[in-house]
A and B are shown apart, each in its own frame.
Chain A
Amino acid sequence: MRRSIILTTTASGLTPVLLLVSLYVTFRGHNAPGGGFAGGLIMGTAIILRYLADGRPGIRSTRLDPVVLVAAGLGLSLITSTAPLVFGSQFMDSKLIDLDVPLIGEIHFVTAGFFDIGVHVLVVGVVMSILIAFARADDEAGTAGDDVGAAPAGGGAATPAGDGPATGTATGTSAGTSTGERP
């Protein structure tokens, strides 16, 4: 796969911004357009962008199994919805909390916010799961030359001759970067 330097550079600059924006969208959701689902999708988009820019090794080398994220998100939202039962309230009952924290000021919070965070985590996990599933499948298909040592048998055969070495180097770098900057 040929790589666009412009895209790679833009993506590395954009990723932190996108991650911040996604968190911002999730947390502002209670009072302004946004919310966990939209925030999670933005984070997913950021990850997809990195995938497109860095190619497969970046996302493939992710050590965190995204299914764990799916489970964590679902678990967090479930805990949020069932926790009121323990305190004698109704299922899914939300509670307003106003905290007066010194130096920071008044913090206004709703327990339903945790539910939204769960949704966020879950959506990120879903996007990543699907992405990684396909990335791994492509990996093993062993088509692209950017599989550094991943598919020694198939890799060479399918890569156009002149393309192989150059991409190999580029990938090595980007894989390293993406592992380092993993959210």
Chain B
Amino acid sequence: MITILALHLIAALICLAPGEHARRWTLGVATVPPLVGFVWLCTQAGAVLDGQPVVESVGWVPQIGLDLDLRLDGFALLMGLLVTGIGVLVFTYSISYFTHERAIGRMAGLLVAFAGAMLGLVLSDGLLTLFVFWELTSITSFLLIGFDDRSTAARTAAVRALLVTGMGGLCLLAGLLILGQQADTGTISQLLADAPTGAVVNAALVLVLIGAFTKSAQWPFHFWLPGAMAAPTPVSAYLHSATMVKAGIVVIARFAPAFAEAGPWRPMVVTAGVITMFVGGLGALHQQDAKLALAHGTVSQLGLLVVLFGLGTPETTFAGVVMLTAHALFKAALFLIVGIIDHGAHTRDLRRLQGLTGRLPIIATAAFLAAASMAAIPPTLGFVAKEAGLDGLIDADIGLWGVVALVGVASAAVLTVAYTGRWTWFAFRPTAPGTLDGQPGIDPARVHHPSPAFAYAPVLLAGASLVLGLVAPVVSPFFDDVAGALTQLPEDIELALWHGPTTALAVSVVVLALGAALTVYVVRRESGRQAPAGRGERAYATTYDELIHGAKRVTRYTQSGSLPAYLGIVFTTLLVIVVVALLSGIGDAGGWPWADSALQVVAAILTGLMGLSVLTARRRFTAAVLLGGTGYGLAIVFLIYGAPDLALTQFLVETITIVMFLLVLGRLPDRWAEGPRWAPSWVRILIAGSVGAAVAAFAMVISVSRTAPSVGDEYLARTVPEGGGRNSVNVTLVDFRGFDTQGEITVLAVAAVGVVNIVGVARREQRRKRLLDGTDDITDDLASDAIDRVVR
């Protein structure tokens, strides 16, 4: 399993490596890992469905119990097959879709990276592993939504999706950590096998649910999903219909059987799910953009899945599994069809589409099948799934929330039928005379046909929606085993097209009839108004603005931009810490050696003199050079103690520091500036003097306060045999403590990039100012002056 995940990563790197030079072959590369994953999952299917999960665990940070735990059970198998299978279809479809895109390599790399993250997510068994993959899907999805980085709308949508799902991710992390702590385990399987209870657990579950709701676009966090439609259509088809939005569902599906009885669980999932179904369904009825209409439909369907899985009874879980599969199939198909229409007709505005049924008969047939599955019309898989769901809800004996769920699901299903009918009618209506709402209709004759490579994916998906429904009893054992991985199923549960005259069937018939009536009504009075921004979206905008303004206010208050103020605060804090440490009596302050050799005294006097003369220096330049001199004095002390490495480095660093100082000093006035009014000279002298004294005292005290044995001897002994070198300092730096060095040079690299950018920003601002003023800044002359002085 880890190999397959690694394969995704490698493919992503291969796709990203050529940068802007990448061509469409990268999408071919991207198809390989999901294909391999799909085949591998198929080979494992037999054993896994028999109830023998494949488990893999790799130590990651074993010290804190963080392992890469992967577990392939029945449910993970189904999700894995959907992620990889739909992945292969979408990726091959993309090859035909992206004909003129720039940055195609980035698209391919991000898609396959996302596919890997999602596969990892469905396979994870470790609580923290789950979180890591969860965040990876958030990040890759952020990059994919904002793929068109020149579009403000895309960037805004991407940030919104990232903020909402990122916030949810943090909630999830907190929830998972608490649950792990309470159950004293790091894996989901153990947590579920022995589910903890109590008030703390309830709080943790609320957090987990919030995380799941954000990811699966549940009310009140649903608003990011329609915005995410700014992404290219294949991305929307893959991420925002079939896979990523199922991440929250996966968590709910896994946790519900064990935790559904816990206090807040059912009220939360039923409330959020039912409201989401209505919000999404009503939203879908208003959209003029074929893709947006489907996106709102997805929101609604996700609400249904949350309710089905969230209730946690065996019957609803079973129905949820079937519904999840049906939804992935028909929604991916419909999105891909919208992409084909968009490609051929250059619009996906429902008001303009017409005559496509005659022009694209195969695509239209596929769309009808997928739509039938979405509206739960027999004999599709969607119908079978909804029947099972209604059955489960009717049979569920869980009191009030079960009833609320049933009523909610049944009435939302009417909406589903209506928005599906409306979508299908407008997308594939016959050529209508005249125009609608002043929008000119497209000319169907000019819509070009998709190539077979372009069209096969949605046709296959739509066909599966039909076939799986027809052979429901045959595939029933498969879904049995999948749901069996989540919960204990009763024996007699099975899928069927015809259950006989049951209550569920009656509900279905009523729903279909009402839905059809609503469709006709909606289509007749199609108003063409764009749906207003939802309340969630407005709340998001307000919160976002307030957050930014608040941050600005806090920054203005705490960051005055005054160097004396910063230094004053830093030094005063240091003073307090050092003095408290000294007064609390760390170590025994006694037996200070005054000097080890006469040479040291000389070095100390030299250093001290230079330090004192810094105080009397009248020019910044003199002060900088003298400060460098104290550094040289220190280097001499190192040398006397027999640390040539340290001395060498100290010399070099001081030299370079002086030059760097000069580069900066060139930009400042030559003489010292007057101090700020709030800190007269006596205050500054007081702070500086006491910090100096305290640090000196501290240095002396700690030099005689060692309690632990020195590691030096051990390192010295290990240098030659283990490090293979005779310079113990160097071996320590690059080998024994190489990890530290790695961190330090990383800091160095970041600092360099930071300096370059800060100077660059200042440069640009200066240029702008000069352009505005038409004059040069006088301080610029000082830069050349300072360097000039060194040269002479």
Contact = CB atoms under 8 A, between A and B. Distances in A.
A41 B656 contact: yes
A33 to B, nearest CB: 4
Contact of A74 (B655, B745, B756, B788): B745
A137 B748 contact: no
B730 A73 contact: no
A32 interface: yes
Contacts of B755: 129-130, 133
Contacts, number: 181
Interface residues of B, number: 56
B752 A94 contact: no
Interface in B767-787: 767, 770, 776-777, 780-781, 783-784, 787
Contacts of A4: 791-792
A106 to B, nearest CB: 13
Interface centre among B666, B724, B731, B788 (most CB of A within 10 A): B724
Given A134-B663, A158-B776, A34 B645 contact: yes
B776 A154 contact: yes
Interface centre among A34, A35, A115, A140 (most CB of B within 10 A): A35
A73 to B, nearest CB: 7
B398 to A, nearest CB: 50
B780 A142 contact: yes
A119 B724 contact: no
A134 B656 CA distance: 14
B731 to A, nearest CB: 7
Interface string B733-761: 11100110110011011011101100110
A119 B731 CA distance: 14
B605 to A, nearest CB: 26
Interface SS, A side: helix
A63 interface: no
Interface string A151-168: 000100110000000000
Contacts of B767: 140
A115 B746 CA distance: 13
Given A2-B788, A73-B745, A134-B663, A48 B731 contact: no
A52 interface: yes
B681 interface: no
Nearest to A8: B791
A143 interface: yes
A57 B263 CA distance: 73
Contacts of B762: 137
A118 to B, nearest CB: 8
B726 interface: yes
B649 A141 contact: no
A126 B725 contact: no
A70 B783 contact: no
Contact of B727 (A1, A35, A142): A35
Nearest to B722: A94
Contacts of A73: 745, 749
A78 interface: yes
B738 A92 contact: yes
Contacts of A37: 649, 733
A110 interface: yes
Nearest to B753: A67
Contact of B734 (A48, A52, A116, A129): A116
B752 A125 contact: yes
Nearest to A119: B745
Given A70-B753, A133-B755, A141-B776, A32 B742 contact: no
B763 interface: yes
Given A78-B742, A92-B735, A130-B755, A141 B766 contact: yes
B745 A45 contact: no
Contacts of B660: 130
Given A33-B645, A34-B645, A92-B735, A143 B726 contact: no
A73 B752 CA distance: 13
Contacts of A134: 663-664, 759, 783
Given A122-B745, A123-B748, A141-B766, A3 B791 contact: yes
Nearest to B647: A33
A110 B791 contact: no
B652 interface: yes
Interface in A19-65: 25, 29-38, 41-42, 44-45, 48, 52-53
Nearest to B666: A138
A136 B649 CA distance: 28
B752 A115 contact: no
B602 interface: no
A33 B725 CA distance: 11
A92 B737 CA distance: 9
A31 B726 contact: yes
B734 A2 contact: no
Nearest to A25: B648
Across the A-B interface, the 7 shortest Cβ-Cβ residue pairs: A141-B780, A30-B725, A41-B652, A33-B644, A133-B759, A126-B752, A96-B724
Given A74-B749, A137-B766, 4 more contacts: A35-B734, A48-B656, A67-B753, A125-B749
11 contacts: A30-B723, A30-B731, A92-B739, A96-B724, A110-B735, A129-B753, A132-B756, A137-B760, A138-B666, A142-B780, A158-B776
